[in-house]
Structures are given as C-alpha cells and as structure tokens.
Structure 1
C-alpha cells in the first residue's frame, strides 16, 4: 500500500525555495516519490485551517516514504527547506 508525505508549507524565501526544489526533487524521485498535488489555492472548510500551500508526495509504501525522509541524502537538504520555509509534515500509511 502507498505511503504519503503531506506537508503544509509557508514559503519565506522564494529563491531559496527554488534551490531546495532543484536539489530535493531528484532525491525524492530516486526514492520512488511522485507529487500527487502541490498547490496554494486552498479553501478552508472546517476548523479554520488555512495553510499557505499543501504538498502531497506518494511513495510505493510507507516504508519507502520513511526511508526517503530519513535518508542521508535528503537529511542533507532539510536545512535548505527550513531556510526557505516554515511548515509541518506528516507521513500517512494507507
């Protein structure tokens, strides 16, 4: 069953964000991940949740998503994401 990384992101530095995406994208793809959605046109329906952007990345399994996230290669670029944005992330195992 697939596993999903879901991130709520507020981009604080657009140039740094673009650099992060260029570096992180190939690492994610090599780990089997693919974007299901990424967008900023969000309508709050309940609870007042109003994230700036949402990204959902599907992996072949929750273990694959976990391995990607905790991999040495990706952990080296987490600081780039944190420099460029504020956010929250979860792993969903379906």
Structure 2
C-alpha cells in the first residue's frame, strides 16, 4: 500500500534551505519516492490552517518512506532543514496512484 509524506514547510533561511531543496530529491528517489506536489498554490476550504509551502511525496509503502526518513543520507539533510525551516510532517497510508 502506498504511503504519502505530507510536509508544511515554513522557510526561515532561503539561502541555507536552497541546499536542502537541491539535494533531497535524489535521496527520496533511492527509496521509490516521487513528488506529487511541491510548493504549488494552496487554497484552504475549511478549518484554521495557514499552510506555507506544502509538499506531498508518494512512496511505495510506509516501510520505504520510513527507511528514507531514517536513512544516513537524509540525516545530514534533515540538519540543514532544521536550521533553515520550521516544518510539520506526517505520513499517511493510502492508495497507489497510476503514473500520468
């Protein structure tokens, strides 16, 4: 069953965050991750939510998503993200989307 990482990213230091943005896709791809949304326009229809930069990444399953998140190659990039952004991240199991 596919798993989706959903992140709300509030960038606090764009110069430092740029390194994270450049390097992170290659680490996700090694674990089967692919972007479904990455910083596009958002519109809140209900609730008290003020998203910043939303990112949605599909992984083959929760095990692959967790393996990427806990991987040594991503650990270094997390430190860069911690220094340059405030984030809220969650993972949810869902359905596998067919490629377009």
Q: Same fold (TM over 0.5)?
A: yes
For the Cα contact (< 8 Å) 1:42–1:50, is it kept in 2?
Answer: no
CA RMSD of aligned residues (A): 1.1
State the alpha-carbon separation in 2 of the partners of residues 10 and 76 from structure 1: 19
Partner in structure 1 of residue 60 of structure 2: 60
The alpha-carbon deviation at position 39 of structure 1 amounts to: 2.1
1:41 equivalent in alignment to 2:44: no
TM-score of the two chains, using structure 1 as the length reference: 0.92
Partner in structure 2 of residue 6 of structure 1: 6
C-alpha deviations, 1:24-48, integer Å up to 9, x for none? 2211111111100012422221112
How many residues are paired up? 94
* Secondary structure of 1:77's aligned partner: helix
State the alpha-carbon separation in 2 of the partners of residues 89 and 32 from structure 1: 18
Gaps of 5+ in 2: 95-100
Gaps of 5+ in 1: none
Q: Which runs of 4+ in 1 moved over 3 A?
A: none
- Name whichever structure is richer in helix by fraction: 1
TM-score of the two chains, using structure 2 as the length reference: 0.87
